[in-house]
Amino acid sequence: MAKQIKNIYKNLCTYENLYEAYLQARKGKRYRDEVLQFSFNVEEFLIEISEELKSNTYKVGGYREFFVYEPKQRLIMALPFKDRVIQWGVYQLLNPIFDKTYIYDSYGCRVGKGTLRAVQRLHYWLKQVGKKDKPFYYLKLDVSKYYYRVDHEVLIDILRRKIKDEEMLQLLKAIITYDGTLFGLKLNGDIKNPDDKIAGKGIPIGNLTSQMFANLYLNELDQYCKRTLSIHYYVRYMDDIIILSDDKAKLHEYKNLIQTYLEENLKLNLNNKTALRPITLGIEFVGYRLWPTHIKIRKSTTMKMKKRLKYVKKQYERDLIPLDKVNATVQSYMGILKHCNTYSLQRAVFDNYILRKE
């Protein structure tokens, strides 16, 4: 068992930690009204937060809810800026420690990882196995409504095994079990239907700590797959998992064992996107389609890029965003596309976005 985290809550309460958290929380949001108000009296607010944490009187603020529809419909829950500062304070202390315990091939919400690294790793493996004399297959697994189905008791138990600091545990528990809003959803529920929401489950999409909790939770599955089942070709990006093998029967066995593990230990379920096919048909993964010989980007991802570039162009032409932000967006998309075998696609995406100003 890994060494437990001790005596960390006192570090959370320090002015230095909270000030760094404030700097992180305000990035990209400096001119929003609530951030400006906080920044105007930053020392006073941070001292107040520190005192609340030290006296264990801090209460999680209320959530503002809204929907986003890319890449699919999601309910986003946003906390007041003060709460986001506290979550950054927690995150910058705990996440680096948790991250060291994760497997190499977990790529979601981790520094130095991300979708592109996940795709490169899977493609590297596909090129390797594609040279072998026998056919290979892939098992694609997707957890049903992952963020909405994380079980609070299971998550708190995982945290308790890793942290031996009661004050930190109580704060994390308060964030997880906040009773002002229901985060959970019935297995076949609709996020827009209030009757489908349930207590005791779910972590809010939009919380920084939710990213940390989500990785920590499925790290349990990663360890089971790597240590107990000894799966070599295994890659995960959040709740999307790909496993490769030349043994089709073995992949069926993995699927059943993983499904049982998820249901019994993590109280999660696989959804109907689960698939088992030859790698020659191509694997859809995090916005790409991969074969041993090449990579293509999904049409829906291309359309999303075009829409975003059109929006950025208009914002720049109206002097609403600076050129460096436009350049960052363009460079990001160029970085994605250069790994695909599609020169014509790059032309199609970028040719219509020459910047102009009146």
pLDDT value of position 40: 96
Q: pLDDT tens, 314-343?
A: 777 777 777 777 777 776 666 666 656 555
Q: pLDDT tens, 13-27?
A: 999 999 999 999 999
pLDDT value of position 358: 47
Is 0.75 topped by the overall pTM?
Answer: yes
Strands (E), the chain: 5-6, 64-68, 74-78, 137-142, 163-164, 184-185, 197-198, 234-237, 240-245, 275-278, 283-285, 288-290, 295-297
Tokens of 56: 């264990």
pLDDT value of position 262: 98
Q: What is the mean pLDDT of residues 38-48?
A: 97
Q: pLDDT tens, 82-139?
A: 999 999 999 999 999 999 999 999 999 999 999 999 999 999 999 999 999 999 999 9
| Confidence class for position 273, pLDDT limits 50, 70, 90 | confident
Q: What is the mean pLDDT of residues 196-208?
A: 95
Tokens of 347: 């032309």
Q: pLDDT tens, 305-322?
A: 777 777 777 777 777 777
In whole angstroms, give the CA distance from residue 38 to residue 82. 8
Please say whether the beta carbons of 152 and 159 come within 8 A.
Answer: no
